[in-house]
Amino acid sequence: MSRLCEGRVAIVTGAGRGIGREHALSLAAAGAKVVVNDLGGNVDGSGGDLSPAEQVVQEIKAMGGEAVSNGDSVASWEGAQRLINTAIETFGDLHVLVNNAGILRDRVLVNMTEEEWDAVIAVHLKGTFAPARWAAAYWREQSKAGKPTDGRIINTTSVSGIYGNPGQTNYGAAKAGIAAFSNIAALELSRYGVTVNCVAPVALTRMTEGLGPAPETDEEREMRSPRWIAPIVTWLASTESAGVTGRVFEASGQVLAVAEGWVRGPKHAPLEDPTQLGPVVEELLTQARKNSGMDGVPGGWPQPRS
């Protein structure tokens, strides 16, 4: 691999296993100095163990790279600040923040508990906001001081969030929120030389192994390997991506695509009388593209029971 990220300092959250581990290794192979953040919890967020992060650090050092571990919770305001400071204090700067940490508490809406909702929103949505906020504050100060920034925030959304998946109202809401957050943050941070983008990965990891049929062949397993997500993240982390911001990239072993956001579809002049709206709405829906399914293709969205 060419040294796309030579000399850059990157933080990857949730980097002890799965997709985050692949990000950390790929960034290190591209020349970045990496802060490997991982609380080391279970899929549902319980527990904690720094050893997965430490193992990734050792893998990076074995390949001649530089890395340090961090076990702070990204959902903690103070923990997120310590995470950003770890990069600055250890490596002297920060160029890239990859927000990847996540948990699952899947449940259909009618059975979901408040705690299951709050836990997922905290780790995914607040766990994206808090590190991004402290990183943005650092880059703003650098910019005000006249120093070049060229910062990157790369967030992790999901096809479950941008297209929808039953049983994941908490996870999907958080992931859709991350996509909206990224779009707005991209607008706000461009003045400081910072880009903000999203990746929607599809891969077989601890978090997803029970969500669908298991791969039956080596080829299927390879196509669902988390390693396919790392190339686009590594490129977005590089200086080459300076002109790309506010975008969502779908990434898997089957496709690399740009997901297009909400757009205004068919329209009609406003009406005051709600009794006149039936045929108007019917006509608008006839003209509009149907919602996309999990494959991103319009028309694949499950229809409600009649």
Catalytic residue IDs: 171
**Phi and psi torsions of 250, nearest 5°:** -85, 135
Residue 37, strand partner residues? 70
67-70: strand order across its sheet: 67-70, 33-37, 9-12, 96-99, 151-156, 194-201, 248-251, 256-259
Residue 154, strand partner residues? 98, 197
Dihedral of CA 100/105/108/114: which sign?
negative
Nearest alpha-carbon partner for 119 in 162, 62, 171: 171
Nearest alpha-carbon partner for 175 in 92, 88, 276, 101: 101
Nearest alpha-carbon partner for 99 in 177, 203, 212: 177
